[in-house]
Structure 1
Amino acid sequence: MATGLIGRVRAKQAEDAHPPLGRFVEVDGVRLHYIECGAGEPLVIFHGNGSMAEEFILSGFVTLAAQHFRVIVFDRPGYGYSERPHSKVWTPAAQADLLIGALAQIGVNRVIALGHSWGASVAIAAALRHPDAVRGLVLESGYYYPSPRADLALFSIAALPLIGDVLRYTAYPLTARLLWPIMRRNLFSPAAVAPSFARFPSSMAMRPSQLHTSAAESALMVPNAAALQRHYRKLRMPIAIIAGIGDRMVDADGQSRRLHSEVLQSSLHLVKECGHMVHHTAPQRVLAGLEEVRRAACEASARRESSPQAT
């Protein structure tokens, strides 16, 4: 009981110390938090498991992209300050529908979508389900094909009813704090942890509510990949696939290189001496992939407009 109360108090302290930086929009009864900056062609960013919109801001990538794009970074459902009703299983498809609806509500109808890690699955689902809304994809450090992942079973326990509820308010926040230095190194290895990541509000990620979200997404990771892999060849927009060669979280060859071989209109950017967090370690490389997609999308639009069918 006392440990659970401490968990609630610490969650409130984390939110008081890190108030929302952006705006809110409500879609289908779900309140979502997003941060927006820059001007130009819209770019929407979907962060990975365990993270939040602020992490992408801290990386410096958003500042670079905002020089040429209108950048919109969402807290995905259950992360940061976005709600995640328990009445729905928040698959990539469910999140894509919600987030594309949120974009339409704030007046954005055609975007390039950048997804990191778990967010890459959301970006792909958005492109498959809403092809008129997504004109290009940048996929960073994604998990695209099912593979044996014993670690996911451990991470998924916190999503279980009853026992998960107890653990999220007692043992898990303490365990997460103790393991945080190791987890952080694994995210960046073989590169050093980027100085930009030092300001990431880890206390927000260790709130019981966000631990539940992270655990639920860990449980969905393999089924998501199994469901999505049948549809990759249906993607028609330009795609840049980006990964760190030394990624310890997701195998670059078995995931990113394999996807590139299957999707003909994709380009592959493998970054040497880089791990899972390419947008922190090598933000210019991610920006180069984004610019490549933008150019290809513009060329594709010009070809369609000049074709005989368009006249």
Structure 2
Amino acid sequence: MSTNLLTNPAAGAFGGKVQEYFWQWENQQLRVVYETIGQGSPILLLPAFSSVSTREEMGELAELLAPHFQVTVIDWPGFGESSRLSLDYRPVIYQRFLADFTKSVFNTAVSVIGAGHAAGYILQLALKEPQIFAKIVLLAPTWRGPLPTMGASQQIAAMVRGIIRFPIIGQLLYKLNTTPSFLSWMYSRHVFTNMAKLTPNFITKKWQSTQQPGARFASAAFVTGNIDTFRTQSEFLSLVQSLSIPIMAILGASSPPKSRQEMDALAALPNVDSVVVPGSLGLHEEFPVEVFEAILPFLKVV
């Protein structure tokens, strides 16, 4: 495992120092791209898992935090500018990656801010190695993928995932589910609340990310629930209750009903601070200023 600096300034999503982290999984080398901006105590930002997941969705929040902290944002393996190999993406890959990356890049306890499905991986690592994280912020946290949330059985989800892995029919099915019109519909349904922000340029950039070679493999794993870290709400809440690390949850006022119920259950726990801000599942990208103002006092407390 090694790290080196990327010299192409165009690679910077928000003006930070762009680096590569080379990581081995089952005798395959993955190139993971991450970006660092600012000075001070370290903070790790983890984007939400989704078909359009990139570190750029954390860009404005990273810029707001940079005057106060040294902020590092990653592209998860299988997403963004990181390697998109045809792996069987499952929790153990991301659990191992997050542990290895954090211990390799940081030499002190780091505060971590994770959106969506990143929550489960943060919490599991915090339980296993509590010395790694100083504070935890969960942005619109989720633990169940789209198909399971819609009620699909594990068998149906596995069948869909298998089909998407096929070379021709899988590519076609994936492309049909990542057209600009579909992405715009997805955002308007449960990611953003202000449709004016879904400009043609915004959607085109998201679409371009989904069309990278190998993009369908990790995306399908997320959509079908194959990278879900928990199977039940009680597992999720029990793990949170067992932690002594300070935890804050940021909830979107307009989150989908099922997701909001899950978030409210988390916020009700006695060891979790919570704040409701405008937005839905993409609140960190749509309302970065409101998120920043909500989390800064929590992060600043010694």
TM-score tier by shorter-chain length is 0.7 to 0.9
Q: What SS is found at the alignment partner of 1:64?
A: helix
Aligned partner letter, 1:225: F
The higher radius of gyration belongs to 1
Aligned residue in 2 for 1:160: 162
Maintained 8 Å contact 2:84/2:214: no
Cα RMSD for the two superposed structures? 3.1
The percent identity for this pair of structures is 17
Maintained 8 Å contact 1:189/1:247: no
For residues 222 and 192 of structure 2, what CA distance do their matches in structure 1 show?
23
Number of residues paired by the alignment?
A: 274
Please, which runs of 5 or more residues in structure 2 have no aligned partner?
1-8, 13-17
Aligned residue in 2 for 1:302: none
Which of residues 4, 22, 32 in structure 2 aligns to 1:26?
22
Q: Which has the higher helix share?
A: 1
Aligned residue in 2 for 1:179: 182
Aligned residue in 2 for 1:198: 202
Q: What SS is found at the alignment partner of 2:259?
A: coil
**1:226 aligned to 2:228?**
no
Aligned residue in 1 for 2:5: none
Over 3 Å counting, the alpha-carbon distance change for 1:140 and 1:164 in structure 2 is farther
Aligned residue in 2 for 1:304: none
Deviation for aligned residue 1:125: 2.2
Aligned residue in 2 for 1:123: 122
Maintained 8 Å contact 1:42/1:70: yes
1:37-186, aligned counterparts within 5 Å? 37-48=37-48, 49-50=50-51, 51-57=53-59, 60-83=60-83, 89-91=89-91, 94-144=93-143, 149-150=149-150, 159-160=161-162, 164-177=166-179, 178-186=181-189
For residues 66 and 222 of structure 2, what CA distance do their matches in structure 1 show?
29
Deviation for aligned residue 1:56: 1.6
Maintained 8 Å contact 1:156/1:215: no
Aligned partner letter, 1:198: F
Q: Deviations over 1:210-251 (max 9, x none)?
A: 222111022236952326524221111111101212113852
Aligned partner letter, 1:290: I
Please give the TM-score of this superposition, normalised by the length of structure 2: 0.78
Please, which runs of 5 or more residues in structure 1 have no aligned partner?
1-17, 299-311
Aligned residue in 2 for 1:14: none
